């Protein structure tokens, strides 16, 4: 195999993908498995995880489902423990579990705000913390943030935007702590608007807004996010840490 293409492979590696039962997470599980990794898929919906594992197995990808909630630090530790018990190591964490929600700030309840931050920011931290305890040098953590971590949304989304901005700050700090001392790279991927289950219910207003406010004037595709994910999760990005990779069709620069 071409030496450059080899750097995009994950043969012999073990990956966790959180929030894998739908949307980007489902695609990320297929993507990282397709380049050689064994995959533990984690989410709250058992049936969807079982279905995904069936698809992964049919593609020749070793996969294992774990039902869990990233807002529980003990559940995050148990997920990591189950991964090591099943496959012997943990080399890649794709911190994808997330919760959206648009709400005018003057109407937003404390519980609504806390719930989004708890999943998107705190859950990302608990998972990274649990994973780092068992990761060997050369491992990679990819935190899935959002373009709204760096630019304002056209819809009222204070909790979501704040949580994703927090993920970017967390990424930088964990990279500073772990990359030299432990050899664990920590980067963030910021997708733009992609056609998923989260965007499907409001495609009309979103389509018009994306067309007007991005350079490409269209939604992103799952495969376009997958390519960026594989880059950050493999040796292809071995000299990157603490970085934020924007894959948003130019939305954040218009």
Tokens of 42: 């984690």
Backbone φ and ψ for 42, nearest 5 degrees, come out as: -130, 140
CA 173 – CA 27 distance, rounded (Å): 28
For residue 144, what are its two tokens? 């899935």
Look at residue 171 and give its three-state secondary structure: helix
Which residue(s) pair with 65 in the sheet?
41
In the annotation, is 160 catalytic? yes
- What SS3 state is found at 88? coil
The C-alpha atoms of residue 25 and residue 97 are separated, in whole angstroms, by: 7
Report the helix count and the strand count for the chain, using DSSP H and E.
Answer: 10, 7
- At residue 17, φ and ψ (nearest 5 deg) are -120, 115
Largest distance between two CA atoms of the chain? 57
How far apart CA 195 and CA 129 sit, in angstroms, is: 30
- Dist. CA 135–CA 100, nearest whole Å: 29
Identify the active-site residue in 125, 160, 193, 251. 160
Point out the residues that are catalytic: 160
């Amino acid at each position: 195999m071409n030496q450059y293409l080899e750097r995009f492979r994950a043969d012999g590696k073990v990956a966790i993908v959180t929030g894998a039962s739908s949307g980007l997470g489902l695609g990320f599980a297929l993507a990282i498995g397709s380049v050689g990794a064994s995959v533990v898929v984690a989410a709250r919906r058992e049936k969807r995880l079982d279905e995904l594992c069936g698809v992964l197995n049919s593609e020749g990808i070793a996969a294992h489902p774990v039902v869990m909630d990233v807002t529980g630090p003990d559940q995050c530790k148990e997920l990591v423990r189950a991964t090591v018990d099943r496959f012997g190591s943990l080399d890649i964490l794709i911190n994808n579990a997330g919760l959206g929600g648009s709400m005018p700030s003057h109407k937003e309840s404390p519980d609504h705000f806390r719930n989004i931050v708890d999943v998107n920011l705190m859950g990302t931290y608990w998972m990274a913390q649990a994973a780092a305890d068992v990761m060997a040098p050369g491992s990679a953590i990819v935190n899935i943030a959002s373009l709204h971590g760096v630019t304002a949304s056209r819809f009222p989304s204070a909790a979501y935007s704040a949580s994703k901005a927090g993920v970017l700050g967390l990424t930088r700090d964990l990279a500073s702590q772990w990359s030299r001392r432990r050899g664990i790279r920590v980067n963030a991927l910021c997708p733009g608007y992609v056609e998923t289950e989260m965007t499907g219910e409001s495609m009309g207003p979103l389509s018009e807004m994306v067309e007007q406010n991005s350079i490409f004037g269209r939604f992103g595709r799952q495969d376009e996010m997958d390519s960026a994910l594989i880059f950050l999760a493999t040796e292809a990005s071995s000299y990157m840490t603490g970085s934020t990779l924007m894959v948003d069709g130019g939305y954040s620069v218009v």
